[in-house]
Amino acid sequence: MPDTFDSPYTGQQSMGGGVVGIMEVILSDFLKLLQETEAAESAAQKEYDELVQNEAEAKAARDAQMSHYAMQICHLGPLKERCNLSSFSCGKGMMEILRTLSC
């Protein structure tokens, strides 16, 4: 008989703790993944909020600039009539502004 069978088999005790050990590893992996996911979501939310804020500021600046241009166009109202400004090729958008402002 080989020497291997002289003592009872004890398994690889240093390798684990059975089902409980596996469950502990799964739990620690899950908690680590949860922490990483929450950190990534937080960073993405912060980036999104900054983007929304920047776009709101840019839109406000564009709206203010458009109002400024509209006021300049209103001051050109009499000139529009004298110079027949509507015949210039300034685009449909500008002509629509001139019509709606009723300077």
pTM of the model: 0.49
Query: pLDDT, tens digit, for every residue of 26-42?
Result: 999 999 999 999 999 99
Q: Within its chain, how far is the Cα of 37 from the centroid?
A: 16
Cα 58 from Cα 47, distance rounded (Å) = 16
7 within a domain of the structure (yes/no): no
Residue 9 burial (CB count, 10 A): 6
Which residues constitute the domain of residue 43?
17-101
Q: What is the pLDDT of residue 9?
A: 67
11 within a domain of the structure (yes/no): no
48 within a domain of the structure (yes/no): yes
Q: What is the CA radius of gyration of the chain?
A: 37
The chain-wide mean pLDDT, for the chain, equals 77
Could you tell me if 98 and 86 are in contact, meaning their C-beta atoms sit under 8 angstroms apart?
yes
Q: Is the pLDDT of residue 43 over 70?
A: yes
Who's near 79: CB < 8 A, 6+ residues apart?
85
12 within a domain of the structure (yes/no): no
